[in-house]
A and B are shown apart, each in its own frame.
Chain A
Amino acid sequence: MIDRLDQIFVLLKHWLVGYLPGEWQAAAGVVVSVVVIIGLYPALFALTTVLERKGVGRIQNRLGPNRVGPYGILQPMADGIKSLTKEDIVPRSADAVVHFLAPIVLVVTVFMGFAVLPMGRNMVLVDMDAGLLFYFAMGASTELSVFMAGWSSRNKYSLLGAMRAVAQMISYEVALLLSSVVVVMATGSLSLVKIVEAQNHYTWGLPHWYIFTPWGLAGFLMYAIAATAETNRSPFDLPEGESELVAGYHTEYSGFKFALFFLGEYVAMFSISGLGSTLFLGGWSAPLAFLTWVPSWIWFFGKLLVSMCVFIWLRGTLPRLRQDQLMNFAWKFVLPMCLLNLFVVALWRFIGDGWLRWLVCSAILVLAYVGIGWEGMSRKRLGARSYRYAD
């Protein structure tokens, strides 16, 4: 019974596809899964916009939207109707073809990433041998659409925003890749299904998630920083900050195309949180051994929603980083720590099981963090903190 609940979507799909003749069944199965993904994640996007606006509003000591439904829950309906009925303005000197294609390329490449994410036991669309590589290949293609959007608008602010966004995305892409390679080294496979299965074991009731190892914790933190920067979220949202660059690379977009950019950004956040939880938080596996009766897809989507809440929390709390600060941070702190992490995971496997490897690896990582931090801060001359209250 619990097994059937866990596999309920797979069973539903087999039942639906069973109505078709034999040779069409595989293709029809794929089509059904694709339709479900394309329907599910925009629905989650609608939910997340409300969550974000209410959450950020509460952090900033104000109510969020509360007019449209009970507690503002139907706000996405209003937003959707607004964006569909607004006039689609294309500037006269804009490059029409590229201007039209940019949001399409973004949405297509962002949705391709979901093809390799295992959303539950046996619930992966394509079990590729090089699944992680495919995911990063699709992620790299999104940068091109950002540039296309900024350049085709023939607007200095757009172009500036696009260049900044692409520079930021390229820098943090290296950090993202290196912090994922650590997981590949520990598992021995690029296939995301195998990575989740390697974390699905329990010792004394606690899971073997990679975040509970020293290199996994360091890798997860760097992955989280790089993921926030890749999706242009605060505190790394200089390319689209309203007070800096009007709206950055999507200044000249209105109506449905702007909604597509917005959708692309949030779905990219889902996709990258899904990958992060697959790599470091055990994907669809339960946190404690006695909780394995809960269906696997509930754990996956639960971790996804928790990651979104952390993103929203970061947005409301941290101030924005300046362009040179975020580039310095990427190349001078995150990248050396990622390279050191690679060395640490090799040491972890080399030393073998036991308490010694925990001690050695944690010591190396903590010393490196403290050392680089002390060295970086020693050049700054910060004054004493002063507070000004609104009296």
Chain B
Amino acid sequence: MGIAFYIISALTVCGGLAAVLLKNTVHCALALTVAFAGLALLFLRLDAQFAGFAQILVYIGAVAILVVFAILLTRGSDTPKDGVFSKTWLAGLAIAAAVFSVLGWAVLQAAPWLPHETVAPNVTVNQIGEALMGRYVLPLEIVAVLLTAALVGAVIVAMHEKEGAK
């Protein structure tokens, strides 16, 4: 395997580990951003340029900032007194370890039969646009409705209630 793959994977996994282990919530959000960047680089290695740039634009440019704003608005930067892990952390860790072992066993079992790398597909943005307007027009419209509903819903959920309403 190429050395670049190892470095990017190490970056992603360390970012993910830091995101769930650190005490300070804002540090967790910044480590999450590093994990997103590592994943975007992995997408670029897999010749999915549009997905990689969309990942940077949407996740780092919007979701990470959203998470950080939510942390600041809920005063998450103050660390709680009795630790950051819940009382049942061992069960959670055991479940995650079990899931990883099952997935890892499945991948390693099937490793000899997995397909090898083919010629890089030359996917242009034109083709993506035509696919979105042709074959995938229904999911596109549904995602548009979903985003509108999410926008309106998020505003309503987070809005200050009017004084004396209901």
Chain A positions within 8 Å of B, measured between CB atoms, are: 95, 98, 128-130, 133-134, 136-141, 143-144, 147-148, 151, 159, 163, 166, 170, 173, 188-190
Closest A-B pairs by Cβ, 9 of them: A140-B61, A137-B56, A137-B57, A133-B53, A137-B53, A190-B125, A130-B125, A140-B57, A134-B53
**In contact, B61 and A129 (Cβ under 8 angstroms):** no
**Interface presence of B86 (CB below 8 A):** no
**In contact, B26 and A130 (Cβ under 8 angstroms):** no
CA distance A134 to B125 in the complex (A): 12
Contacts of A148 in B (CB 8 A): 30
CA distance A133 to B61 in the complex (A): 12
Q: What DSSP secondary structure best describes chain A's contact surface?
A: helix
Q: What DSSP secondary structure best describes chain B's contact surface?
A: helix
- Most chain A Cβ neighbours within 10 Å, of B33, B50, B62, B65: B65
Tell me the number of A-to-B contacts counted with CB atoms below 8 Å.
61
Residue of A nearest to B71 (CB): A151
CA distance A138 to B69 in the complex (A): 20
How many residues does chain B have at the interface if contact means C-beta atoms less than 8 Å apart?
21
CA distance A134 to B72 in the complex (A): 29
With A143-B61, A144-B65 as given contacts, are A130 and B49 in contact (CB-CB < 8 Å)?
Answer: yes
**In contact, B53 and A140 (Cβ under 8 angstroms):** no
CA distance A190 to B50 in the complex (A): 11
**In contact, B26 and A151 (Cβ under 8 angstroms):** yes
Contacts of B68 in A (CB 8 A): 144, 147, 151
CA distance A129 to B65 in the complex (A): 27
**In contact, B49 and A147 (Cβ under 8 angstroms):** no
> Binary interface profile of B, 16-49, with partner A (CB < 8 Å = 1, else 0)?
0000000000110010010000000000000001
Residue of B nearest to A128 (CB): B49
Q: Which of B71-100 contact A (CB under 8 A)?
A: 72
Give min CB distance, A182 to chain B, whole Å. Answer: 15
**Interface presence of B54 (CB below 8 A):** yes
